[in-house]
Amino acid sequence: MKYHKAFAGKALVRSGLGGRKVTFDGMFVFPGLQRISKVDITISNLSLTFTGPDNPLIAKDQQLFDLKVTLQLRVNDTPKDVLAAIDYLETDALFDLDERIPEMINDAEQLIRAAASEHDWSELADITTLKNAIIERVPKRYFKPGIVLQDVALDHIDKFPPEYSPTQSGGLLFRAH
């Protein structure tokens, strides 16, 4: 029997004889009958950029705008959620959530686009409105099973010039030369 200690920001998952068990402190393991995996429970950043006429966000009033946003995600620090995250990501260990961030980009983009489309530009210009709209679209802050949205950082938000806006330029989505 061997004792394994969990370090700060990590959970230990024991599997094998006796099923799966999660701890944030430490546990004994019978080598050969059980194995231990480490799960990162620290914050990972998922950064998205919506810029230019090819990748804009569209407000409810059809105003186009640029946005740079970072979603701060982490595996929730409960045994149930650690197991849910492992099951969702189909892995035995989750050493570093950052490595799995690319798998979540499409869902994050859809989340941001949906939140932006619910408000007029005049409301979104107040970044608190957009931040709250994003957070409210994540039920109980669970972005994915076992993975919570810790915070949202809006790094840049800017309205497109009138020549790009369909409401101000007769529907053109490109710059006239």
Same domain, 22 and 67: no
80 sits in the region (left: phi over 0; alpha: psi -120 to 50; else beta) called alpha
Range of the domain at 24: 2-40
DSSP 8-state symbol, 47: E
Supply the pLDDT for residue 160.
Answer: 78
CA distance 141 to 126: 22
Kindly state the percentage of the chain with pLDDT values over 70. Answer: 89
Same domain, 57 and 22: no
The answer to whether position 145 is within a domain reads: yes
The answer to whether position 75 is within a domain reads: yes
Same domain, 93 and 142: yes
Same domain, 95 and 36: no
The pTM score is 0.83
Average model confidence (pLDDT) across the chain: 87
Same domain, 8 and 74: no
| Closest to 113 in 3D by CA, of 171, 53, 65 | 65
Partners of 68 in the β-ladder: 49, 156
The answer to whether position 177 is within a domain reads: no
Same domain, 23 and 66: no
The answer to whether position 64 is within a domain reads: yes
Same domain, 61 and 114: yes
- β-pairing verdict for 34-40 and 10-16: antiparallel
pLDDT tens string 82-139: 999 999 988 776 777 888 888 899 999 999 999 999 999 999 988 899 999 999 999 8
* Mean predicted confidence (pLDDT) in 68-73: 95
Partners of 69 in the β-ladder: 48, 154
* Mean predicted confidence (pLDDT) in 56-81: 94
Partners of 38 in the β-ladder: 12
Under the banding of pLDDT at 50, 70 and 90, the label for residue 146 is very high
CATH number for the domain spanning 142: value is: 3.30.479.30
pLDDT at 1 over 70: yes
Same domain, 152 and 95: yes
pLDDT at 171 over 90: no
**Domains contained in the chain, number:** 2
Cα dihedral 69/75/76/78 (nearest 10): 180
Q: Residues with Cβ < 8 Å from 38, sequence gap 6 or more? A: 6, 10, 11, 12, 13, 93, 94, 95
Same domain, 29 and 66: no
Same domain, 71 and 132: yes
The answer to whether position 134 is within a domain reads: yes
* Mean predicted confidence (pLDDT) in 41-45: 93
DSSP 8-state symbol, 161: P
The answer to whether position 173 is within a domain reads: no
Same domain, 72 and 108: yes
The answer to whether position 100 is within a domain reads: yes
The answer to whether position 153 is within a domain reads: yes
Under the banding of pLDDT at 50, 70 and 90, the label for residue 176 is very low
Same domain, 36 and 123: no
Supply the pLDDT for residue 172.
Answer: 38
Residue with token string 């914050």: 43
Supply the pLDDT for residue 177.
Answer: 36
